[in-house]
């Protein structure tokens, strides 16, 4: 006897429940009970103590007409498969440039000789930080990766981060500006950002695997962008909203238009917050690149996955060390650039 038989019997729904009932496989508990010659009748206190929550499976035991939880998940999967082809017709042309950008960046970063790429990266570090110490650290870290033959994997990871972080900033900053200028836009966007920020990293890959081929770079590119775009949107919105109202009123008194106030006043004053968002976006891109190695993303994450899969401790540890070095490089360079922005914004202008 099922726990909730009394509910459907009391409501007179027994005939409806048993109309399409078909004998299914017997549960292990029922088999054990039958083998033991049945169970003794329980008291009402014991029955109440063991009463399960009225979940789909518990109600299905009493009324086979009610769907089970696995029927619900199967229905969700079938619904997604039904809309997959129309979605691909729409999404494939839109996302194809992302595949091209990732493929070209991978080609440029990996085919350029190290004696050209290394000075270019050091020049970029100098432009961002103006620090000889940081340049020396970056040069030493890259030389170490060259020495242990992990340079190509590191450049693959760097190229993916470069493309995805650039696109996060390209789309995230305008979205953050739109949120700061409209409370309605902010109320509509924040739940989406909350969902993207709290969703487990592996869950990002599940619908994308069904939509795109595993061999397409846009599969892991979209996952990285969705995961990493949140900080730059939030901090852009926050930075513009924190601009002093008196400064805005002074700009209005000088006759500035709304666009002029945004470009000449709000964005320059919000730049430290925006740069902090860029820093976090780059760090989250690096974290997601390692996870994306499960869906054919190249780079150091592949070596980490190989170390886990084949129990090769040395391979995994060395690849992990390379990821740590890249994280330190990216973090220090973006923080140095942020410090320069802060210093420039604090200098009084006459």
* Same domain assignment for residues 44 and 89: no
Picking from 34, 66, 98, the residue at the C-terminal end of a domain is 66
Average per-residue pLDDT for the chain: 86
CB 255 within 8 A of CB 142: no
Confidence at residue 296, expressed as pLDDT on a 0 to 100 scale: 83
Confidence at residue 47, expressed as pLDDT on a 0 to 100 scale: 65
In percent, how much of the chain has pLDDT > 70?
89
* Same domain assignment for residues 81 and 53: no
Q: How confident is the model at residue 144 (pLDDT cuts 50, 70, 90)?
A: very high
pLDDT for 188 beyond 70: yes
* Same domain assignment for residues 138 and 258: yes
* Same domain assignment for residues 90 and 14: no
Confidence at residue 350, expressed as pLDDT on a 0 to 100 scale: 46
pLDDT tens digits, 288-324: 988 888 888 899 999 999 998 998 999 999 999 999 9
185 exposure class (CB count in 10 Å sphere: 0-12, 13-18, 19+): middle
What contacts 24+ positions apart, CB below 8 Å, involve 173-177?
Answer: 173/232, 173/233, 173/236, 173/274, 175/233, 175/236, 176/232, 176/233, 176/234, 176/235, 176/236, 176/237, 176/239, 176/240, 176/274, 176/277, 177/236, 177/237, 177/240, 177/262, 177/267
* Same domain assignment for residues 311 and 165: yes
CATH of the domain at 140: 1.10.3720.10
Q: Compute, in degrees rounded to 10, the torsion defined by CA atoms 11, 12, 15, 21.
A: 20
Mean pLDDT for the stretch of residues 29-44: 55
Domain span at residue 37 reads 5-66
pLDDT tens digits, 248-260: 888 888 888 888 8
* Same domain assignment for residues 167 and 55: no
User: Which of helix, strand or coil describes residue 41?
Assistant: coil
- Of 43-47, 63-67, 282-286, the least confident: 43-47
pLDDT for 330 beyond 50: yes
Distance of CA 109 to the CA centre of its chain: 24
pLDDT tens digits, 79-89: 888 888 898 88
Q: How far apart are CA 294 and CA 224, in angstroms?
A: 13
Confidence at residue 37, expressed as pLDDT on a 0 to 100 scale: 53
* Same domain assignment for residues 54 and 143: no
């Amino acid at each position: 006897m099922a726990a909730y038989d009394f509910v459907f019997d009391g409501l007179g729904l027994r005939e409806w429940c048993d109309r399409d009932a078909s004998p299914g496989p017997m549960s292990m508990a029922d088999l054990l009970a039958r083998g033991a010659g049945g169970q003794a009748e329980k008291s009402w206190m014991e029955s109440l103590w063991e009463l399960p929550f009225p979940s789909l499976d518990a109600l299905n035991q009493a009324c086979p007409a009610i769907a089970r939880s696995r029927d619900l998940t199967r229905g969700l999967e079938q619904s997604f498969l039904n809309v997959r082809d129309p979605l691909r017709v729409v999404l494939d042309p839109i996302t194809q440039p992302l595949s091209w950008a990732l493929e070209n960046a991978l080609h440029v970063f990996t085919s350029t000789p190290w004696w050209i790429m290394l000075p270019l990266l050091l020049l970029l570090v100098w432009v961002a930080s103006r620090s000889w110490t940081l340049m020396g650290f970056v040069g030493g870290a890259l030389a170490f990766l060259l020495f242990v033959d992990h340079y190509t994997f590191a450049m693959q990871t760097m190229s993916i981060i470069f493309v995805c972080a650039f696109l996060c900033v390209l789309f995230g900053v305008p979205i953050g500006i739109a949120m700061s200028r409209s409370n309605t836009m902010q109320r509509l966007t924040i739940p989406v950002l909350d969902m993207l920020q709290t969703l487990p990293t592996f869950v990002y890959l599940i619908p994308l695997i069904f939509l795109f081929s595993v061999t397409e770079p846009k599969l892991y590119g979209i996952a990285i962008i969705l995961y990493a775009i949140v900080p730059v949107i939030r901090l852009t919105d926050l930075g513009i909203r924190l601009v002093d109202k008196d400064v805005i009123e002074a700009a209005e008194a000088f006759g500035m238009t709304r666009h002029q106030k945004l470009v000449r006043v709000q964005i320059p004053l919000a730049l430290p917050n925006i740069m902090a968002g860029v820093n976090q976006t780059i760090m989250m891109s690096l974290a997601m690149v390692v996870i994306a190695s499960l869906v054919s993303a190249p780079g150091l994450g592949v070596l980490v996955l190989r170390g886990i899969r084949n129990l090769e401790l040395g391979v995994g540890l060395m690849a992990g060390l390379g990821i740590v070095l890249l994280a330190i490089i990216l973090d220090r360079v973006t923080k140095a650039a942020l410090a320069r922005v802060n210093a420039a914004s604090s200098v009084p202008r006459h």
